[in-house]
Structure 1
Amino acid sequence: MDALVMCGGRGTRLDAPVEKPLVDICGRPMLDRVAAALRDSSVESVRAVTSPHTPNTRDRAADLGLDPIEAPGDGYVSDLGFALARVSRPAVTVVSDLPLVAPEHVDAVVAAADGGAATACVPVELKRELGASVDDALVFDHEGTAVCPTGLGVVGPADADGETDAETNTDTDTNTDADTNTDSTMYLSTDTRLALNVNRPTDIALAEDRCE
């Protein structure tokens, strides 16, 4: 199975001196951390989806052997569709601002998808307890619990019209709504490592307190 690291967003809310995927968490760029987790998982290949907004990230991805896909940079959903047309499906997708993602998380979501689509989510309450940033536009109800996507998931096979059955990940830079397509399996986790997307400066300290 192919894996795509989505790293073409502008990252304006983080206000970092480097491109968002290159922000260090415990001495390693977030892109390096996410790529390492994917490579230690069951996925077969890892590619980075960059854009004109992230030229240095593209260079770093190439250095890491991630074979960058240069998307137009028109937003998460558009860039995801562009990248999906260039890999086989189902495919794992993960945002580059999830620096504590681990191989076991990836494998659990792949298993939950079972050849289809799956979305990894965490309870909003967990993020608030941690003090992590929450994008209210991404919050939705799942069986009476307010949850939000982590940015890790599996995009299922294309249907007869060439559309994916669920594009369930959301890049928190684009403020897109979570797709709650019933064809997508929900993988709900309370692991704090999946609750820490680095979107704001305060999220960096939270992640560094928990990195291994």
Structure 2
Amino acid sequence: MCGGRGTRLDAPVEKPLYEIGGRPMVDRVLEGVRPAVGTTYAVVSPHTPETAAHVDAPTIETPGEGYVADLERALSTVEQPVLTVAADLPLLTGSIVAGVVDAHERGSLSVSVPADLKRDLGVSADTTVESESGELAPTGLNVVGDGPERRLVLADERLAVNVNRPGDARIAEELL
């Protein structure tokens, strides 16, 4: 998913093209995803024309009306189950993705991290949910399929760093 405006990052480039460690985040995410899945698509919008031109993957065009609307549009064009990943996870690795794919049994799998991990790292935690295991933050890594949804909680700092703000980018650089 690489079609958002990235306004909180306040960068001179489209958010997916923002560089961490000298490489665009979208390239890092694609590198982490490709070893564990078959076909990869970059879900782009009118807000990310440079990203659409940059990526070395087929694209799915969405209207850019927001994450949920764009996700729904993208899901209508591919067969499920499908792994979805936000382009702002520059520390994602193939082993993390493979572990999530292996953990998926059926239905949907939502991957979260403990919200305290994000706070301890000093990265933004814009969205959190309460669960029986405590306060959790979604990571932007999910498997969407037909059937019941399950939550996988991973206390992995590489999944806790979504680059939404300049401070998040600094922390991603440090952890890289």
TM-score under structure 1 length normalisation: 0.81
- 1:37 lines up with 2:32 in the alignment: yes
Q: Which whole-Å CA distance do the structure 2 matches of 1:82 and 1:130 have between them?
A: 33
Matching of residues 147-166 of structure 1 within 5 Å = 147-157=136-146, 165=147
Q: How far is the alpha carbon of 1:111 from its aligned partner?
A: 2.0
**2:41 maps to amino acid:** R
Matched length: 176
Instruction: Give per-residue Cα distances to partners, 1:161-190, cap 9 Å, x unaligned.
Output: xxxx5xxxxxxxxxxxxxxxxx21211111
Per the alignment, in what secondary structure is the counterpart of residue 98 of structure 1? Answer: coil
Unaligned runs of 5+ in 2: none
- Aligned partner of 2:121: which letter? L
What residue is the counterpart of 1:53 in the other structure? 47
Deviations 1:119-178 (A, max 9, x none): 11000100000001110xx21112141001000010013xxxxxxx5xxxxxxxxxxxxx
Unmatched 5+ residue regions in structure 1? Answer: 1-5, 158-164, 166-182
Match of 1:140 in 2: 129
Overall identity of the aligned pairs, in %: 50
Q: How does 1:179-190 map to 2 (within 5 A)?
A: 183-190=148-155
**Corresponding letter in the other structure for 1:186:** R
Separation in 2 of the partners of 1:147 and 1:113? 19
For 1:128, the aligned partner's letter is: R
Aligned-CA RMSD value? 1.0
Deviation, structure 1 residue 80: 0.7
Cα pair 1:112 1:185 within 8 Å, conserved = no
Give SS of 2:163's match: coil
State the SS of the aligned residue for 1:15.
Answer: coil
- 1:56-205 superposed matches below 5 A: 56-61=50-55, 64=56, 66-135=57-126, 138-157=127-146, 165=147, 183-205=148-170
Aligned to 1:175: none
What TM-score, normalized by structure 2, do the two folds share? 0.97
- Cα separation, 1, equivalents of 2:106 and 2:21: 35
